[in-house]
Amino acid sequence: MKLTFLGTSAGKPTDERNVSSIMLDVRQERGGLWLFDCGEATQMQMQKAKFSLSKLEMIFITHLHGDHLFGLPGVLTTRSLIQNQSELTLVGPKGIKQFIQTVIDISYSCLTYPLNIIELEQDGLVFEDTKFQVETKLLAHRVPCFGYRVIEKDLPPTLNIKKLHKDNINTGSHYAYLKEGKTVTLADGRVIDGRNYHGDFKQGKKLAILGDTIPCDASIELAKDVDVLVHEATQEDALEQKAIERGHSTTVHAAMIAKQANAKRLIMTHISPRYSLNDNAKLVNEAKGIFSHTEIATDFATFQV
């Protein structure tokens, strides 16, 4: 999985940062792109980052504040102009369906592909297939805001072919059974337990992308043992009171959540327009005092999960 930040500013865009949007690139794992939040001008940011709308498979919206939402009509309607008309799934808090329907009706637009809208009203599993699982929990913001935990399922173990050859087991037709850990009987009578010939198995990655929130238990639960935690850090530590009053977190809050959740890595985003890129080092250092594996996102920065 690869994360690309398309917008990292809180509330409004600045010369250096666009408003919230993150692309989770799972093309390698399942052939699609998953977008988290869709602030204004996200389709332009996608174009600049060379992300094709035709590959867009899922959109997850954390909450209905404009800086996370106002790019959605553009993304959805432009996707109607392209050749690929595959289904798109949109997940977001209750009200998102009415928002989309209203925009489309009032602007005489139409969508030429199936749009599957899932409205969230409570915690739970929002997506699952053979490779991935996405869970959501309600965070603590001024309006209903949902955080997401993306879990890549463990890949099945490979077969240790060298060991099989060494033991003179060349039963190609049995390999599939052995790989599944089943027991097979060979032509020479030997009974072979597939589990004894398993090689390494690849542990799936875990990722939490949270929306706007003050520190809360749901954040810790969503971020438990993740490889990467994406957490908002709207304000510096000195402005803690201001952050909390507006339903936001500071750099230190984000670091505390990462530490309590035992995350491996923290990426801070949703930075107040009061800060320029020159303030990045200061903001990161505040968080590093509590959680050393901290980075700060900038627009178009990419992170391998």
Smallest distance, Å, CB 103 to Zn ion? 19
Q: Spell out, one character per residue from 187 to 226, where the chain touches Zn ion: x when CB under 5 A holds, - when not.
A: -------------------------x--------------
231 is in an annotated binding site: no
67 is catalytic: yes
Query: Does 67 interact with Zn ion (rule: CB under 5 A)?
Result: yes
Question: How far apart (Å, rounded) are the C-alpha atoms in residues 223 and 227?
Answer: 9
DSSP 259: H
Residues 6+ apart with CB under 8 A from 95: 64, 119
Question: How far apart (Å, rounded) are the C-alpha atoms in residues 146 and 141?
Answer: 9
Cα separation values, 169 from 156, 183, 199, Å: 21, 13, 15
**Which residue stretch of 26-34, 64-72, 92-100, 111-119 sits at the interface with Zn ion (rule: CB under 5 A)?**
64-72
15 is in an annotated binding site: no
Query: Does 248 interact with Zn ion (rule: CB under 5 A)?
Result: no
Question: How far apart (Å, rounded) are the C-alpha atoms in residues 18 and 48?
Answer: 12
Are 51 and 83 a contacting pair, CB within 8 Å? Answer: no
**Count of residues that bind Zn ion according to CB under 5 A:** 3
Q: Where are the alpha helices (DSSP H) in the chain?
A: 27-30, 42-48, 66-69, 72-78, 96-106, 161-166, 175-179, 217-222, 240-245, 251-260, 280-288
> What's the sign of the alpha-carbon dihedral 179, 185, 188, 194?
positive
Q: CB-based burial of residue 129 (10 Å sphere; 0-12 exposed, 13-18 middle, 19+ buried)? A: exposed
Exactly one of 67, 105, 237, 279 is catalytic; name it: 67
Smallest distance, Å, CB 11 to Zn ion? 6
Which residue lies nearer to Zn ion by CB, 174 or 248? 248
270 is in an annotated binding site: yes
Compute φ and ψ for 132, nearest 5 degrees.
-135, 160
Query: Does 265 interact with Zn ion (rule: CB under 5 A)?
Result: no
Which residue lies nearer to Zn ion by CB, 212 or 286? 212
DSSP 284: H
Q: Binding Zn ion by CB under 5 A: which of 17, 65, 174, 198? A: 65
**Which residue stretch of 61-69, 75-83, 260-268, 276-284 sits at the interface with Zn ion (rule: CB under 5 A)?**
61-69
Compute φ and ψ for 270, nearest 5 degrees.
55, 60
Smallest distance, Å, CB 61 to Zn ion? 11
248 is in an annotated binding site: no
**Which residue stretch of 44-52, 60-68, 77-85, 115-123 sits at the interface with Zn ion (rule: CB under 5 A)?**
60-68
279 is in an annotated binding site: no
Smallest distance, Å, CB 153 to Zn ion? 31
293 is in an annotated binding site: no
68 is in an annotated binding site: yes
Question: How far apart (Å, rounded) are the C-alpha atoms in residues 108 and 110?
Answer: 7
The binding site for Zn ion (CB under 5 A) comprises 65, 67, 212
Binding site members for Zn(2+)? 63, 65, 67-68, 141, 212, 270
* Catalytic residue annotation: 67
Binding site members? 63, 65, 67-68, 141, 212, 270
